[in-house]
Amino acid sequence: MVTIRDIAQATGVSATTVSNVIHGKDNRVSAETIQKINTAIKQLGYVPNMSARSLVSSSSKVIGFVNHAISRRTTNFMEDPFHSAIVGEIEAALFENGYYLMLRTVETAEELVTFLQNWNVDGLFITGIFKDKFFDSVAGLNIPIVFIDSYVRTPRFCNVGLEDFTGSYNATRHLIEKGHRHIGFASPSIKDGGVLQERFLGYKAALAEASIPFDKSIVFQQGMDIASCKIVSDEILKHPELTGLVVTADLMAAGIMTGLRVNGLRIPDDISVVGFDDINIAQLVTPPLTTIRQDMSLKGRLAADFMLQRLSGTPLDTMEVTLPTKLIERDSVKAL
Amino acid sequence: MVTIRDIAQATGVSATTVSNVIHGKDNRVSAETIQKINTAIKQLGYVPNMSARSLVSSSSKVIGFVNHAISRRTTNFMEDPFHSAIVGEIEAALFENGYYLMLRTVETAEELVTFLQNWNVDGLFITGIFKDKFFDSVAGLNIPIVFIDSYVRTPRFCNVGLEDFTGSYNATRHLIEKGHRHIGFASPSIKDGGVLQERFLGYKAALAEASIPFDKSIVFQQGMDIASCKIVSDEILKHPELTGLVVTADLMAAGIMTGLRVNGLRIPDDISVVGFDDINIAQLVTPPLTTIRQDMSLKGRLAADFMLQRLSGTPLDTMEVTLPTKLIERDSVKAL
DNA sequence: TACAATAGGTTTAAGGTTAAACCTCTCTCA
DNA sequence: TGAGAGAGGTTTAACCTTAAACCTATTGTA
């Protein structure tokens, strides 16, 4: 392994001078020496040791991407195509600025603290439900933190979010405008304190605005897997009054649509469906799904921008971005 | 920040003794001292500094997950739901054994070498096309390396792969057995030296076996995005003799099916389609897609097992696993 | 002539952890 | 009574890098 000392020896200068040249603090070094050092670095293949650098500078160039999961074994956050799109964008942006990305799914606040201290993490992206103990454990940190889709908002932290409430409100309102009055709601969870809860509130708000009484018997809480979707579509059979359905994820909407078709219901003739996200599946199912689009890559890019700006000390105009959604009309909704 | 010295001071022993206790090398330490040290660690909230540990031991507890991409900007490997499923499985397994996962997309072999040396990476997962210079740059490394879906196989490295050839052969043969003789092939690439090339060869082998002449004008190389799929489905219109199509990815198959439907072709009546992977989309499109199933989570788990075994020095019976595929018959194929 | 300023560096210490070598006391046993 | 072994540690040095303080020779200036 080639160290900075080897470069120093090869060029006849001290290690400090080499270090200074590497970091561009070379106003006190002659052009000739700089040249020699750079040549030696290339020839000998010197690569800095991040551990040593991190040890002495208390800064590691590591950015953590932390997801809070209730259980690591049952929820694999990378399986969610959204998270993975975000992670990809972030990795690319960080790389170009010399940072490294370390992934971590944590179940407990202690795990998070250990992770942070272990690595002297320079910054943190946080996704998943993150409140109470978790929030406290990062609240005192003196590193940039960027939340993604958090609804525990404080002016002290950056957050990149989405108009979840408005998106879901618009989805519901779209059905109402098409003449629907009996509109169900399907979602993996509605009280998670996060995006799904907001979407639920948006649904309720649109109903209330149209003076449609809320009926909790047509709120279907189930997982997104195909078996759970089948349960929802069976439940729907028991509510022949339903003519519309708002679903908080396209994947779930697709699963429910398949189940409904098996049960002999036609979409949109018997029931209209609106999804959420506009993942590629939305265009590929039959009929193509009317849905609420969000731009996941943009979310990742903005999150990375926040992080890089805070890392470089650039003052921020704002600590928060809430991305808009857009209703994409396809063929899964029929006017009554 | 609490260091090992603080613990030493608090318990009245030396730092080395604390270190030994932490690492279980405590056969020369009294039970009482061990007790005191552990209590102090908890009370003061000591967490080891990985940089210091890594510096002195040349082992970092960091495992790299490296993907080779031609261009970081155009290919975001995390967007592939397969890669992300694998990454999720691996992260969970590594965590339970005290390892950390660092993601890296590399464009050049130099980037890879820099990454490795930067962090004293303890092990490496490698995906993506990886040959020539890339292969050379890891060939001399003395750390466990686990390839995923590599076809540059050597007895010295672990590989977790899939029966790509056989899977594709079976897909094609299935169509042949159903009476099809004019079978097209659609794939993002067929000469990548990786899984897609193998699948192409499997297709050709099945044709040859049935004495069906290979016709390169019905091999469609296009991207997996919806626009590219549209191009394929338009091309297919120019080949009315086609009655079957083998596609190397379900997502692409779904895109092509949508395009074909727009073009007035019915599936499977006008053309039969077989996909590959069996992602959830396959069940959700209309008609449900006949496809070649592979188990991505298992791939990730086996890759993690290989890594953990090699890290712990357990001798391996085998360095290579090739997972089987399974033909899943749904409704996108019709007997002629 | 005397002093300051500048160019171009060097030396030293520190960061947290651990491997290797070393130490000392007590007990056992011939 | 004296050697040896074992218990229970300690001391030292090293891993690589960098920040802070320090040094020396030359040139410029009043």
Q: Is strand C less than 7 A from the beta carbon of A17?
A: yes
Paired strand residues for A123? A63
Q: Is strand C less than 7 A from the beta carbon of A51?
A: no
Specify the amino acid at residue A335.
A
Q: How far apart are CA B31 and CA B26, in angstroms?
A: 9
Q: What is the pLDDT of residues B82-122, one digit of tens each?
A: 677 888 899 999 999 999 999 998 989 899 989 999 999 99
Q: What is the pLDDT of residues B242-276, one digit of tens each?
A: 999 999 999 999 999 999 999 999 999 999 999 99
In a domain, A269, yes or no: yes
The 8-class DSSP code of residue B312 comes to T
Per-residue pLDDT, averaged over B165-171, amounts to: 98
In a domain, A278, yes or no: yes
Residue A56 C-alpha, separation from nearest chain B C-alpha, in angstroms: 9
Would the pLDDT of A82 be above 70?
no
* Closest by Cα among A137, A145, A131, A140 to A112: A137
Structural domain span for residue B257? 164-294
Per-residue pLDDT, averaged over A156-170, amounts to: 96
Q: Does residue A10 share a domain with residue A85?
A: no
Q: Does residue A105 share a domain with residue A23?
A: no
Is B50 touching A (CB cutoff 8 A)?
Answer: yes
Would the pLDDT of A247 be above 60?
yes
Chain B residue with minimal CA distance to A49? B118
Class of residue B62 by CB neighbours under 10 A (exposed 0-12, middle 13-18, buried 19+): buried
Q: What is the pLDDT of residues B130-146, one digit of tens each?
A: 888 888 888 888 899 99
Q: How far apart are CA B104 and CA A201, in angstroms?
A: 39
Q: Does residue B37 share a domain with residue B78?
A: no
In a domain, A111, yes or no: yes
pLDDT of residue B147: 95
Q: Does residue A68 share a domain with residue A37?
A: no
Q: How far apart are the first and last CA of chain A?
A: 73
Q: How far apart are CA A61 and CA A97, in angstroms?
A: 10
* Residue partners of A299: CB distance under 8 A and separation at least 6: A86, A89, A148, A149, A160, A162, A323
How much of chain A, in percent, has pLDDT values that exceed 90?
Answer: 81
In a domain, B308, yes or no: yes
Inter-chain touch B52–A47, beta carbons under 8 Å: no
Specify the amino acid at residue A92.
A
* Closest by Cα among B123, B63, B66 to B95: B63
- pTM above threshold 0.85: yes
> Among A51, A103, A286, whose Cβ lies nearest the Cβ of B103?
A103
Would the pLDDT of A77 be above 60?
no
With residue B254 as reference, give the H or E element that holds it.
helix B250-262
* Closest by Cα among A130, A60, A46 to A311: A60
Residue A127 sits at the vertex; the CA angle it makes with A122 and A128, to the nearest 5 degrees, is: 145
**A275 token code pair:** 């999804």
* Closest by Cα among B242, B253, B326, B334 to B289: B253
In a domain, B154, yes or no: yes
Q: Does residue B105 share a domain with residue B205?
A: no
Mean residue pLDDT of chain B comes to 93
Rg (Cα) of chain A, in Å, rounded? 26
Q: What is the pLDDT of residues A213-236, one digit of tens each?
A: 999 999 999 998 999 999 999 999
Would the pLDDT of B80 be above 70?
no
Inter-chain touch A78–B72, beta carbons under 8 Å: no
Would the pLDDT of B331 be above 60?
yes
Q: Is strand D less than 7 A from the beta carbon of B17?
A: yes
Question: Distance, angstroms, CA B30 to C1' C27?
Answer: 17
pLDDT of residue B79: 54
Q: Does residue B82 share a domain with residue B176?
A: no
pLDDT of residue B121: 94
Q: What is the pLDDT of residues A105-135, one digit of tens each?
A: 899 989 998 999 999 999 999 998 888 888 8
Q: Does residue A212 share a domain with residue A100?
A: no
pLDDT of residue A70: 77
In a domain, A149, yes or no: yes
CATH number for the domain spanning A233: value is: 3.40.50.2300
Is B70 touching A (CB cutoff 8 A)?
Answer: no
Inter-chain touch B78–A55, beta carbons under 8 Å: no
In a domain, B220, yes or no: yes
Inter-chain touch B79–A84, beta carbons under 8 Å: yes
Inter-chain touch B104–A120, beta carbons under 8 Å: no
pLDDT of residue A128: 86
Mode of pairing for the β-strands spanning A326-328 and A320-323: unpaired
Number of separate domains in chain B = 3
Q: How many residues does chain A have?
A: 336
Q: How far apart are CA A321 and CA A302, in angstroms?
A: 8
**B295 token code pair:** 């188990």
Q: Does residue B169 share a domain with residue B159?
A: no
Would the pLDDT of A103 be above 70?
yes
In sign, the C-alpha dihedral spanning A165, A168, A172, A177 is positive
Q: How far apart are the first and last CA of chain B?
A: 73
pLDDT of residue B70: 76
Q: String of b and e for A69-102 (b: at least 16 CB within 10 Å)?
A: beebeebbbbbbbbbbbbbbbbbbbbbeeebbbb
With residue B145 as reference, give the H or E element that holds it.
strand B145-148
Q: Sheet harboring B272-277: ordered strands across?
A: B219-221, B183-187, B244-247, B272-277, B290-293, B326-328
Q: Does residue B200 share a domain with residue B284?
A: yes
In a domain, A179, yes or no: yes
**A164 token code pair:** 């979840």
Across all strands, nucleotide nearest B31 (CA–C1'): D8
CATH number for the domain spanning A42: value is: 1.10.260.40
To 10 degrees, what angle do helices A164-177 and A195-209 make? 40
Phi, psi (deg, nearest 5) at residue A162: -140, 155
Q: Sheet harboring A272-277: ordered strands across?
A: A219-221, A183-187, A244-247, A272-277, A290-293, A326-328
pLDDT of residue A74: 59
Q: Are B46 and B3 in contact (CB under 8 A)?
A: yes
Q: Does residue B180 share a domain with residue B159?
A: no
Q: Does residue B33 share a domain with residue B94?
A: no
Q: How far apart are CA B256 and CA B186, in angstroms?
A: 9
Q: Does residue B169 share a domain with residue B219?
A: yes
Q: What is the dihedral of CA B278, B281, B287, B291, to 10 degrees?
A: -10
